[in-house]
Structure 1
Amino acid sequence: MSTEYVSCPNEAPLGEQLPAAARGLGHLSAVGSATFRERHVHVALDLVDGGHHPAFAVGYERSRTDPDASPRTAPPGDEGTERIRARDLQLATDAYTRRLVDHAQASANRPFVLLDVEILLASTARKARLALRELELATPSGPTTLRFVGTASGLACLAADIRTAGVADGVTLLPLSNAGTVELLAQVTVPELHRAGFVNFDTASALVATLGGTTLG
């Protein structure tokens, strides 16, 4: 599997990319049989000025989404969440399983484990890939964790499938470039997850507000 691009329906079925081990791990994180909470996706945002791509650290044209350029996360991190990084779905599943086992052996309250996902969104997957190419021409780099480059609807699908397949309890989204991506997150990705029942209203509203939106559309 490519460590750079992950796709979802209307781009490519995610199920074809998930290893058999990942598809069979749902029972490890279940909190009830077919309950709403079992399918709930925990979504967090990690925003920095311009974006997380290394090009923004060397003077590439920035797109500020807020006067405050400090890193922001929403919902805020707490002791009940942990972040993992992995460059493909199999490695993410392995890391997630190790966290579950470690907490079970320690008889500790299990935190929600969120997978870091670098994202770059556009109206089409082709436009997203072209935007990434422009960033790579400015500063060549490689993914530091799972990377999604595509549409906002495809990202909603990926986040939901990561949860339902037992790859992680949710995702922490790291926009590679804020330009375009932040707006599409607020207008499409978060509302689609909410309408599908994967994110509750309060969480969706907090995410949209952090992204600079005013209402949950």
Structure 2
Amino acid sequence: MSYNDSAYPDSAQRLLRVAVELSGRSGPDYWADLTVGRPGEPPLDPAAPSGNVIRVRAADLREAGKIRDRIRSEAASEGRDPDAVTVLVDLEVLVDPDARAARRHARIEGTTARREPGTLSYVGTPEGLASLIADVHSVGVADGVTLIPVPVPFTVEHLVDGTLPWLEARGLLTVSPTVVEVLRRFGEGVGPAARAS
């Protein structure tokens, strides 16, 4: 399935959520919600005691959808609102504006083998990644993704300058000001002024 404006009804679909997990130079992994929910909703926090944000790992999209359905069913059977639970599927990514360059980086970095067994992965362009994320959301595979970038130069910039704007332009999400902190801590260089907006 590819992106189609009519596949995303405004009122019937919750906002897409995108988070990122990055490794710091001198510390533990850094996890950040790159999107904004509905008015009054706090940023996503998978460590919150409420258990309303659940990260999952799946070998393919079908498995991810089954896991999400099971989590929502369990929430309903516990008397909780299943729509209050946000299921994020982990997605390892390597992006470059040129798809051939992304595949070349994957071969050089040895990233064709996944870091974590049973984890979805994507190698290609920032816009191609955005289309995949939109499809994941539109067919109910997950409420969003946690992007786990392969550590190659400018990956964070490609996500912030390519993937997120593509999704925002289609009304699927609102980018959080958190992206400024992510770029400051993990970016490779200075980029367009639009990032700070």
| TM-score interval, smaller chain | 0.7 to 0.9
2:64 aligned partner, one-letter code: A
- What residue is the counterpart of 2:67 in the other structure? 95
Question: How far apart are 1:147 and its partner, in Å?
Answer: 0.2
Equivalent residues in 2 for 1:173-192, closer than 5 Å? 173-192=147-166
Q: Deviations over 1:120-144 (max 9, x none)?
A: 00122211111011111xx884353
Report the Cα distance in structure 1 between the residues aligned to 2:154 and 2:182, rounded to whole angstroms.
15
Q: Which consecutive residues of structure 1, in runs of 5 or more, have no partner in the other structure? A: 1-12, 16-25, 27-32, 50-63
Q: Does the 8 A contact of 1:190 with 1:207 survive in 2?
A: no
In the TM superposition, residue 35 of structure 1 has moved relative to its aligned partner by 3.3
> Where do 1:100-115 residues align within 5 Å?
100-110=72-82, 111-115=85-89
The alpha-carbon deviation at position 44 of structure 1 amounts to 0.6
User: Which has the bigger relative contact order, CA under 8 A and spacing at least 6?
Assistant: 1
Partner of 2:39: none
- Cα deviation digits, residues 81-128 of structure 1 (max 9, x gap): 100100111111111111111111111233100000000001222111
Contact 2:94 2:102 (C-alpha < 8 Å) held by counterparts: yes
SS of the aligned residue for 2:13 comes to: helix
Task: Answer whether contact 1:115 1:168 (CA < 8 A) is retained.
Answer: yes
Match of 1:81 among 53, 56, 75: 53
* Uncovered stretches (5+) of structure 2, i.e. residues with no partner: 34-43, 185-190
Which runs of structure 2 are paired with 1:14-25 in the superposition (5 Å)? 14=2
Q: Distance in 1 between matches of 2:31 and 2:112?
A: 26
Q: Which residue of 1 aligns with 2:9?
A: 34
Change (3 A) 1:151 1:36: farther
Identity value in percent? 33
Q: Secondary structure at the match of 1:149?
A: strand
Q: Is the 8 A contact 2:130 2:166 kept in 1?
A: yes
Q: In proportion to residue count, which structure has more strand?
A: 2
1:48 maps to 2:20: no
In 2: Cα distance, 1:44 partner to 1:163 partner: 14
The residue type paired with residue 129 of structure 1 is R
- In the superposition, the TM-score normalised over structure 2's length comes to 0.74
Taking the aligned partners of 1:39 and 1:174, their CA distance within structure 2 comes to 23
CA distance in 1, matches of 2:92, 2:56: 12
Contact 1:186 1:208 in 2 (8 A): no
In structure 2, what is the equivalent of residue 211 of structure 1?
183
Counterpart among 129, 134, 149 of residue 155 in structure 1: 129
